[in-house]
């Protein structure tokens, strides 16, 4: 099957624009008090991200036979959780990054205290939004409750936060720690939870939810490996951050463990595993198949 | 009506012990991976707090005609939200406190990065727990969804976090800013949400929920004013922190605004407003009446 990168990029851009319009509605508009925290939240989210997690929430809904419109609050919530984690990861006490996508990080603009609180507020608002998803016609409150438990597990101390803890512990050590567990927690958990959220809210059967879970797991791996590859061979103007930072920070990556060619091969295998997990869906899952292939072609 | 402080303190102690047993079950037990984040979460919560918020969740359930047992997950969740806020407030970028209840603060023991992440994880786990409350017999998922929205609003950028932002903005300024709005957000919001959560999950009517909301608002004010009073006239061994810190930090308090006698009078008025809000409940609300009176007698 062919993969037309350009027309797929157009499709992604359209979906991204739709998500950003929705995020703008939640975070923009009339100024709220106190102003600074809401400005910091807006800055942290409206920063040119790829919006992959909300796109996955909408796609999970569509694959389950529902419309993306039924899960907009949950989709925006997943992006807020992702963005809160970036704001906190960038803090001086953590990765101490001054730039994110080529722009000053949240704490550089608003100060550390406001960045910590803006992250907290985005995480809190995310759960309010998912709860709001119950107000949409056809969405059942018991499914919303299940999604909240699922997302909290994915984002929590044994999910994404656990992955960040492992990452901080590993920093500066060129150690043979379990890189795939670390990334499975730090990256895959939110992708999995995003697809599952859209699907659960639209009553996909359990076998289908399991297929999407496998996809999300392998997508996270493919995404992280290609991140490592871009760090050594990417264009820093497109990335918005300097290349070679992993080596400089003595961070264990797939490149340092298995070399550039080994990493490329592992990325291809993960993408194939993504595609294989979608067999039961037929052509309905073509977008997700292409999204997996896209990770091998991305430049940022 | 008389108020027997000693027997009421016994009652409070019993309820506190029950809550701590429940918190221990959620946060203790088998070690979880990665260990350090779970140790930091445990340390941040099992630290001798007064457990007023979970006690209020249980009491909200009881007043609504349900049992406290029906809302244990939500009760523990409120304590986790309170404790996460303390961990983040204590950080060097915020209030920069080394001691909390006479013990080193979370970041002093586990480092700043782990303290930030432990706070994030407690907030996340709190929402998982509230969602879990739907698993308890007799609790309706639509009420759980309403409670999640309610609590997220109370804890978020226009609630507790908004109050902390205002507090940081006011620090070092002996300004005539709106102290009651600040404390209403920073303190009252979680008390209100706690009482409401127990009551909503047990189907109290809207008029009753409004009464409890008024109580929570005034309780927060009474609690904050007596906090200010203890800061100038308390026993630092009982408080676990030095007295006089508000003056040292040039923090606007009720004492600096209206003097010690004025503050005592305002505390009494707030307690009376708490008691007045409970008229429709009769003797069922005696515990909450005494809890309000107790703020005038507390030593820590």
The phi and psi torsions of B103 (rounded to 5 degrees) equal -120, 155
pLDDT digits (tens, 9 = 90+) for A235-260: 777 777 677 777 766 678 888 888 99
Asked if B148 and A157 come within 8 Å (Cβ–Cβ), the reply is no
| A282: DSSP letter | G
Asked if A88 and B116 come within 8 Å (Cβ–Cβ), the reply is yes
Answer yes or no: is pLDDT of B1 > 60: no
Tell me the two tokens of residue B255.
């004492």
Q: Which of B11, B112, B25 is nearest to B58 (CA)?
A: B11
A101: left (phi over 0), alpha (psi -120 to 50) or beta: left
CA B53, B72, B150, B200: dihedral to nearest 10 degrees? -110
Rounded to an integer, what distance in angstroms lies between the CA atom of residue A161 and that of residue A36? 26
Please compute Rg for chain A using Cα positions: 18
User: Judging by beta carbons within 10 Å of its beta carbon (0-12, 13-18, 19+), is residue A19 exposed, middle or buried?
Assistant: buried
Q: Where are the alpha helices (DSSP H) in A34-111?
A: 35-45, 52-63, 72-89, 106-110
Among the CATH numbers 1.10.600.10, 3.90.870.30, 1.10.287.3510, 3.90.25.10, which is that of B5-295?
Answer: 1.10.600.10
List of chain A residues whose C-beta atoms are within 8 Å of the C-beta of residue B165? 34, 36-37, 114, 117
Rounded to an integer, what distance in angstroms lies between the CA atom of residue B127 and that of residue B138? 20
The CA distance from B133 to the nearest CA of chain A, in Å, is 9
Classified as helix, coil or strand, A235 is coil
Asked if A114 and B145 come within 8 Å (Cβ–Cβ), the reply is no
Answer yes or no: is pLDDT of A149 > 60: yes
Could you tell me if the ipTM is greater than 0.85?
A: yes
Q: Which of B50, B68, B81 is nearest to B239 (CA)?
A: B50
The CA distance from A122 to the nearest CA of chain B, in Å, is 8
pLDDT digits (tens, 9 = 90+) for B258-288: 899 999 999 999 999 999 999 999 999 999 9
CA angle B189, B191, B193 (to 5 degrees): 65
Asked if A165 and B128 come within 8 Å (Cβ–Cβ), the reply is no
The CA distance from A59 to the nearest CA of chain B, in Å, is 24
Asked if A149 and B142 come within 8 Å (Cβ–Cβ), the reply is no
Rounded to an integer, what distance in angstroms lies between the CA atom of residue B254 and that of residue B260? 8
Asked if B131 and A152 come within 8 Å (Cβ–Cβ), the reply is yes
Confidence class for position B138, pLDDT limits 50, 70, 90: very high
pLDDT digits (tens, 9 = 90+) for B20-39: 999 999 999 899 999 999 99
Give the pLDDT of residue A143.
98
CA B263, B269, B273, B279: dihedral to nearest 10 degrees? 150
| A104: DSSP letter | E
Average pLDDT rounded to a whole number, residues A90-112? 96
Rounded to an integer, what distance in angstroms lies between the CA atom of residue A37 and that of residue A116? 10
Quickly count helices (H) and strands (E) in chain A.
15, 2
With CA atoms as reference, the chain B residue closest to A107 would be: B93
Q: Which of A88, A114, A144 sits opposite B145 (nearest CB)?
A: A144
Average pLDDT rounded to a whole number, residues A33-54? 96
A67: left (phi over 0), alpha (psi -120 to 50) or beta: beta
Tell me the two tokens of residue A206.
């359990």
Helix (H) or strand (E) holding A99: strand A99-100
Written in H, E and C, the secondary structure of chain B is: CCCCHHHHHHHHHHHHHHHHHHHHHHHCCCCCCCHHHHHHHHHHHCCCCCCHHHHHHHHHHHHCCCCHHHHHHHHHHHHHHHHHHHHHHCCCCCCCCCEECCEECHHHHHCHHHHHHHHHHHHHHHHHHHHHHHHCCCCCHHHHHHHHHHHHHHHCCCCHHHHHHHHHHHCCCCCCCCHHHHHHHHHHHHHHHHHHHHHHHCCCCHHHHHHHHHHHHHHHHHHHHHHHHHHHHCCHHHHCCCCCHHHHCCCCCHHHHHHHHHHHHHHHHHHHHHHHCCHHHHHHHHHHHHHHHHHCCCCC
Buried/exposed code over A158-184 (b: 16+ C-beta within 10 A; e: otherwise):
bbbbbbbbbbbbbeeeeeeeebbebbb
pLDDT digits (tens, 9 = 90+) for B39-91: 999 999 999 899 999 999 999 999 999 999 999 999 999 999 999 999 999 99
Average pLDDT rounded to a whole number, residues A190-204? 98
Among the CATH numbers 1.10.600.10, 3.10.20.740, 3.40.228.10, 1.10.3720.10, which is that of A5-297?
Answer: 1.10.600.10
Give the pLDDT of residue A255.
87
Give the pLDDT of residue A254.
87
Tell me the two tokens of residue A261.
């060619």
All structural domains of chain B with their residue ranges: 5-295
With CA atoms as reference, the chain B residue closest to A154 would be: B124
């Amino acid at each position: 099957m062919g993969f037309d990168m350009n027309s797929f990029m157009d499709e992604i851009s359209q979906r991204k624009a739709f998500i950003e319009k929705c995020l703008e509605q939640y975070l923009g508009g009339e100024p709220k008090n106190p102003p600074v925290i809401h400005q910091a939240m807006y800055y942290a989210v409206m920063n040119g991200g790829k919006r992959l997690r909300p796109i996955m929430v909408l796609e999970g809904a569509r694959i389950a036979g529902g419309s993306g419109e039924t899960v907009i609050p949950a989709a925006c919530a997943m992006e807020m959780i992702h963005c809160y984690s970036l704001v906190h990861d960038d803090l001086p006490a953590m990765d101490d990054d001054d730039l994110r996508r080529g722009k000053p990080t949240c704490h550089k603009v608003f100060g550390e205290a406001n960045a910590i609180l803006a992250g907290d507020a985005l995480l809190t608002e995310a759960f309010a939004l998912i709860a709001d998803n119950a107000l949409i016609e056809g969405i059942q409150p018991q499914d919303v409750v299940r999604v909240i438990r699922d997302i909290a597990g994915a984002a929590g101390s044994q999910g994404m936060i656990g992955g960040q803890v492992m990452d901080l512990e590993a920093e500066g050590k060129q150690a043979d720690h379990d890189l795939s567990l670390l990334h499975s927690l730090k990256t895959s958990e939110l992708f999995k939870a995003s697809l599952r959220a859209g699907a659960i809210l639209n009553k996909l059967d359990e076998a289908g939810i399991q297929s999407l879970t496998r996809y999300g797991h392998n997508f996270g791996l493919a995404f992280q490996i290609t991140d490592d590859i871009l760090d050594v061979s990417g264009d820093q103007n497109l990335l918005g951050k300097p290349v070679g930072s992993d080596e400089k920070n003595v961070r264990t990556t797939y490149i340092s463990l298995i070399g550039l060619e080994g990493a490329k091969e592992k990325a291809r295998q993960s993408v194939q595993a993504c595609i294989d997990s979608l067999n039961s869906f037929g052509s309905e899952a073509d977008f997700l198949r292409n999204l997996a292939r896209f990770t091998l072609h991305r430049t940022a």
